[in-house]
């Protein structure tokens, strides 16, 4: 489960205060909102990349508010994907395992598993500069999922892919979540993405998070 309890987070003069939200374990949560309303800031706060000045961040029932990003075990895919410029696709998939000093055999198995899951075996020796938008997105997802996190945060993952690829990515994201059982928080401003993917749809507006789907019971 992802739960925010009255958190406050600020960037320069921009600040969000008293934000609370919940996405149940194994659900696909969609966080909507206009550009500039603070969706990315909220994701960064969940991942530990931005300090919160009040409230608590609970992941899978554990209070992670004071923990470093590395200790939170969240797969994070930023909007620009931020693939590592000097590493090929294989090293992207192996990265989180190598950092954890996993055995070579496990690393190899996990790279194969991710490549199969995301259908990117032919790309393993390619550098990120040569990948299309959709391919880069798959690699970024694979890199985030390789250590089997229980939670992944996706920041507008489909904003840079064309229409044809978008449908393909919908199927991929859906099947990924079904197969891994991971809890997802997906930030977007697209209603069609929300309708297609969301088990639970939240909207960040005027500094408040409202639950749209499923409609909250009175």
- Site residues (vs other proteins, CB under 8 A): 44, 47-49, 68-70, 72, 74-76, 78, 80, 82-87, 91, 94-96, 98-100, 143-144, 147
Q: Are strands 28-32 and 14-23 parallel, antiparallel or unpaired?
A: unpaired
**Shortest reach from residue 97's CB to other proteins, in Å:** 9
Q: Sheet holding 200-205: strands in order across?
A: 74-77, 151-155, 183-187, 28-32, 200-205, 208-213
Joined tokens for residue 34: 């206009």
Closest CA to 173 of 143, 201, 137, 205: 137
Choose between 28 and 95: whose C-beta lies nearer to other proteins.
Answer: 95
Tokens 């969940």 belong to 46
Let me know the angle formed at the C-alpha of 30 by 22 and 66, rounded to the nearest 5 degrees.
Answer: 45
**Shortest reach from residue 164's CB to other proteins, in Å:** 27
* Percent composition of the chain: helix, strand, coil (DSSP 3-state, to 5): 40, 25, 35
Choose between 40 and 165: whose C-beta lies nearer to other proteins.
Answer: 40
Choose between 91 and 150: whose C-beta lies nearer to other proteins.
Answer: 91
**Shortest reach from residue 62's CB to other proteins, in Å:** 16
**Shortest reach from residue 166's CB to other proteins, in Å:** 23
Choose between 43 and 201: whose C-beta lies nearer to other proteins.
Answer: 43
Choose between 134 and 142: whose C-beta lies nearer to other proteins.
Answer: 142
**Shortest reach from residue 98's CB to other proteins, in Å:** 5
Q: How far apart are CA 27 and CA 177, in angstroms?
A: 8
């Amino acid at each position: 489960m992802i739960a925010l309890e009255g958190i406050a987070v600020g960037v320069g003069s921009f600040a969000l205060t008293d934000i609370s939200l919940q996405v149940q374990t194994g659900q696909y949560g969609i966080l909507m909102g206009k550009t500039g309303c603070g969706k990315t800031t909220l994701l960064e706060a969940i991942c530990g990349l931005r300090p919160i000045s009040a409230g608590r961040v609970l992941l899978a029932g554990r209070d992670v508010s004071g923990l470093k990003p590395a200790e939170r075990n969240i797969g994070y895919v930023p909007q620009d994907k931020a693939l590592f410029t000097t590493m090929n696709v294989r090293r992207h998939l192996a990265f989180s395992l190598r950092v954890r000093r996993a055995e070579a055999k496990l690393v190899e198995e996990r790279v194969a598993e991710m490549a199969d899951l995301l259908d990117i075996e032919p790309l393993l020796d390619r550098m990120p500069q040569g990948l299309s938008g959709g391919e880069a997105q798959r690699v970024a997802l694979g890199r985030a999922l390789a250590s089997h996190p229980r939670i992944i945060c996706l920041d507008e993952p489909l904003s840079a892919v064309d229409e044809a690829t978008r449908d393909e990515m919908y199927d991929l994201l859906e099947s990924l979540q079904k197969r891994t059982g991971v809890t997802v928080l997906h930030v977007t401003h697209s209603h069609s993405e929300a309708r297609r993917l969301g088990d639970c749809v939240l909207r960040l507006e005027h500094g408040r998070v409202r639950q749209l789907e499923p409609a909250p019971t009175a």
